[in-house]
Chain A
Amino acid sequence: MNVAATMEPAEFRLVIPSQTRYLNLVTGLAKRASLVAGLDDATAAKVSIAVDEAVTNVILHAYHGEGEHSVELELRFTELALEIHILHSGQGLREDQVVLPDPKEYIKHPRKGGLGLLLMSRFMDEVRFKADDASGRNECCLIKKLD
């Protein structure tokens, strides 16, 4: 028996330890969620890469590679978009701290690092950061619109 989807936005959460061994699980989930939302294969692959980059940033930079913390992923399916919220209580990043590298400069002067944020911004329609000093809860929100 099929159960019809409601028109209400659906959401669910996954909490993982702050360890890179779970990246593959998270990217697999992001890809499948994108397909469920109605995105095509190529777009789903891009969403999964953006999520990998965002979760990697949390593990390596917000938590400095410490594996005993938690990373929370909240997936929201709305009529207009797939929203993936990545929440953590590590070191927060605010919008005004985000500096995207210039790919042309990067190619002229190759070096390690700095490309994750660029991939996120290129592959998603919106990337937002919120750092809440009061609660210590921080968030990276990735949005992909449904055409």
Chain B
Amino acid sequence: MADLSIAVRQAGDVAVLLPAGFINAHTVREFEEALEGLVRDGRYTILLNCKNLNYISSAGLGAIMGLIETVRDHQGDILLSDLQPNVFAIFDTLGFTQLYRVFGDEDQALAAVTPEWKG
């Protein structure tokens, strides 16, 4: 199994990114390219559905941090959902749960940014 695979789909105005596996210094470029590709395409509201993400190191956090100002400057945002406990611990320990909106699941996240979202 590859260390990381990434699926992308569109849900209304929200680009949903589903990383599966491990984001570390070895795989971060792939993750970064996926995020940058969305921003290049003008998709500034991005939901990271982390249900299949086993692990993220500071390299992955840096990739997210590197784009947060850009998406917010374009009235977009980066949202997080379905965090496994160890992934949540990383974000929470560093205080990032104050910087990003974190949702229990994808539907909750989509409903928060797309009022007409029906799931």
Contacts and interface: CB of A to CB of B under 8 A. Distances in A.
Interface hub of B25, B62, B89 (most chain A Cβ within 10 A): B25
A112 B3 CA distance: 22
Interface stretch (B10-18, B38-46, B52-60, B107-115): B52-60
Nearest to A52: B57
Contacts, number: 81
A71 interface: no
A106 B94 contact: yes
- Would you call the interface of chain A mostly helix, strand, loop, or mixed? helix
Contacts of B98: 107
B65 A111 contact: yes
Nearest to A111: B65
B57 to A, nearest CB: 5
User: Main SS of the interface on chain B?
Assistant: helix
A82 B85 CA distance: 22
Interface of A: 20-21, 23-24, 27, 42, 45-46, 48-49, 52-53, 56, 59-60, 103-104, 106-107, 110-116, 118-119, 122-123
27 contacts: A23-B26, A24-B22, A24-B24, A27-B24, A27-B55, A42-B85, A48-B55, A49-B55, A52-B24, A52-B25, A53-B57, A56-B59, A60-B25, A107-B95, A107-B98, A110-B65, A110-B68, A110-B69, A112-B63, A114-B58, A115-B62, A118-B58, A118-B94, A119-B57, A119-B58, A119-B94, A122-B93
Interface of B: 3, 22, 24-26, 55, 57-59, 61-63, 65-66, 68-69, 85-86, 89-90, 93-96, 98-99
